[in-house]
Chain A
Amino acid sequence: MGRIFLVFLSVFMLSFSAIAEGKSDKFDPGATAFHHIADANVFSIGPWSIPLPCILYSKDSGWSFFSSSKFGIVGHHGDGHKAVDGYVLNAGSVNRVRPGQGFPTGEVELFSEQAYDEAAEGGHAMHPFKHKEIEVKELNDDGVEETKMEEITYFNYNGKDYTLDAKSTADGGLFGGGITSYYDFSLTKNVVAMLITVFLLMWMFISIAKAYKTREGKAPKGLQNFIEPIFVFIQDEVAKPFLGHHWERFLPFLMSLFFFILGLNLFGQIPFFGNANVTGNISVTLVLALFTFFVVNLNGNRNYWGHLIAMPGVPKWVLIILTPVELVGVIIKPITLMLRLFANITAGHMVMVIFVGLIFVFGQSGANAPVSYGTAIGSILLTMFMMAIELLVAFIQAFVFTILTASYIGAATEEAHH
C-alpha cells in the first residue's frame, strides 16, 4: 500500500512539475484546467506524450496524413517544435497557421529542442505559443463597421509573428469557435479512449454472454458475477417500472447507453492515463442525447402526439400557449440530458486540476517551496477524496441518463387509460 502511494506521488509530481517550471509566469488555474479537459492530438500517459495519427483537411492545401510525432513534441506541455504543412502542435492539439501570412509549407523548425530543454533547466519554461487580445474591425448586421476584441494565439518564427487559426470544429466554426480554414478528422485522444472503452466493453459482454451459455444453471463466476447485479439493477429498477410491458424492446438500448456512459466515465477517471474527458465533451453527449430524442419520438404513439399537440379536455384558446410550450419541451429534454452529463463530468475533471493547481497558487508558482510542499499534502488528500466522489458521480450520471431516457420512452409509449 505504501509503495503504491509512493508511485502515485512521484507520477503526480512529475506530471505537474510541468506547471511549476514557469516560475516567473503567473499561474492561471482556470487556463490550466481548460487545457486539461480539452481534446488533444497526443495521448499523454503521465509526463509522456504518445503520438496519434493526424488526418487534416483544408480547402487550399488538401488532405494531410501524418503522425503527431512529426511535430517533434518537447516537454510536458505537448508543444511541437516543428510545423508540418502549415500545421503546428499547440499544447497537444493541432492548429493551423492562418493562411495568407506567407508561412512556409513542408517541415519547418520553429525552435530547437535544445533551446527548449535549456530554458526548462534554467527555470524559465519556453512558451512558444502566446495569447493576446487584438482589435478586429468587422461589419455588423446593419452594415456599420464596429471593433471587437478577439483573442488570438500567435508564435514567433524568424522574427515575424504568425497568428494561428481558431481550433477546428466539425461545423467549420459556424456554432462558435470562429470560422476555421481547416477540418480536423484526426484520431484524437478522446476518439482513442472511446475505441479502447468500446473494445473493452465488447470483450467483456461477449465473454459474459458465453459464460451464460457454457455455465447454464450454475452460479455466476468472475466478471459475470460482477456485472450481473448491475445489469439486473438497471433492468428491475429502470426498465421494468418505467416501460411497462415494452421493457424488453428497449432494454438493449438502455443497457448500451448505461454501460457506454459508465465505461467512458470510469475510463476518464484513471489517473495519468490519457485522462480523456469523453463524456465531458459536448459533441459526444449531443450524439447520445440525439439517440434518445429519436428513439423517444419515433416510438411515440398516437396518445403521446395527441397530448403534445392538442391536449384533450383543454379549452382551445389555452392551446395557443400550451402547444408551443409542450413542443419546446420535446427539444429541451434531450438538451438537458446533453448538458447534465457534459457539465457534471467536465466539472469533476476541472475540480481535480484546480485542487492540484492550489499548490501553485499558494506556493506562488513554485517560488515558495515550504508552502508548496505543505499545500501538496493537503491537495493530494483533497484530490483523492474528490476522486472517490467522482467515482460515485460516474455511476450516478450513467444511471440518471438511463433512467431519464427510460422515463421519456415510457411517457411516449404509454397506452391511453381514460
Chain B
Amino acid sequence: MTGSIVALGMGLAVIGAGMGLGSIGSKAMEAIARQPEAVGDIRSNMILMGALVEGAALIAIVMCFLVA
C-alpha cells in the first residue's frame, strides 16, 4: 500500500515541476522572440531557473524513495 502512495507523491512532485518548467520555457521563448539579441543571457538564466525548480521536484522524489 505504501508503494502506491509513494508513486502518487512522485507524480504530484513531477506535475508541480512540470508546470514550473513549462512556464519558464514559454516565457523564455517569448522573451527570445521579442529580443533575439539577448538570447545568451536569457538562455543561461532559463537553465538556472529550470535547475532551481527541478531541485524542489528532486528533493520530493528522493524523499519518496526514502519513505518507500
Residues of chain A at the chain B interface (Cβ within 8 Å): 237-238, 335-336, 339-340, 343-344, 396, 399-400, 403-404, 407
Contact = CB atoms under 8 A, between A and B. Distances in A.
B20 to A, nearest CB: 14
Interface string B44-67: 100110010011001101100000
Contact of B61 (A335, A343, A403): A343
Nearest to A282: B62
Contacts of A340: 51, 54-55, 58
User: Which are the 6 A-B pairs with shortest beta-carbon distances?
Assistant: A336-B55, A400-B51, A343-B58, A339-B58, A237-B44, A340-B55
Most buried by B among A335, A343, A399, A403: A343
Contacts of A343: 58, 61-62
Nearest to B59: A339
A223 B21 CA distance: 36
A340 B48 CA distance: 12
A132 to B, nearest CB: 18
Interface in B25-57: 40, 44, 47-48, 51, 54-55
A259 to B, nearest CB: 18
A291 B51 CA distance: 19
Given A237-B40, A340-B54, A400 B47 contact: yes
A344 B51 CA distance: 11
A403 B48 contact: yes
Interface residues of B, dominant DSSP? helix
B28 to A, nearest CB: 14
A404 B51 contact: yes
Nearest to B43: A237
13 contacts: A237-B40, A237-B44, A238-B44, A335-B59, A336-B58, A339-B58, A339-B59, A340-B51, A340-B54, A340-B58, A344-B58, A403-B44, A403-B48
A404 B62 contact: no
Contacts of A336: 55, 58-59
A125 to B, nearest CB: 28
Nearest to B62: A339
A294 B63 CA distance: 25
Nearest to B44: A237
B61 to A, nearest CB: 7
A29 B51 CA distance: 29
B48 A404 contact: yes
A396 B54 CA distance: 13
A336 B63 CA distance: 12
Contacts of B47: 396, 399-400, 403
A335 B51 CA distance: 13
A407 to B, nearest CB: 7
A17 B51 CA distance: 38
A238 B61 CA distance: 29
Nearest to A407: B48
A149 B61 CA distance: 23
A414 B9 CA distance: 39
Given A237-B44, A336-B55, A339-B58, 7 more contacts: A238-B44, A335-B59, A339-B59, A343-B61, A343-B62, A403-B44, A403-B51
A407 B48 CA distance: 10
A403 B41 CA distance: 13
Contacts of B55: 336, 339-340
A240 B8 CA distance: 43
A323 to B, nearest CB: 22
B55 to A, nearest CB: 4
Nearest to B61: A343
B48 A400 contact: yes
A403 to B, nearest CB: 6
Contacts of B40: 237
Contacts of A404: 48, 51
Nearest to A403: B48
Contacts of B51: 340, 400, 403-404
A399 B62 CA distance: 22
Contacts of B59: 335-336, 339
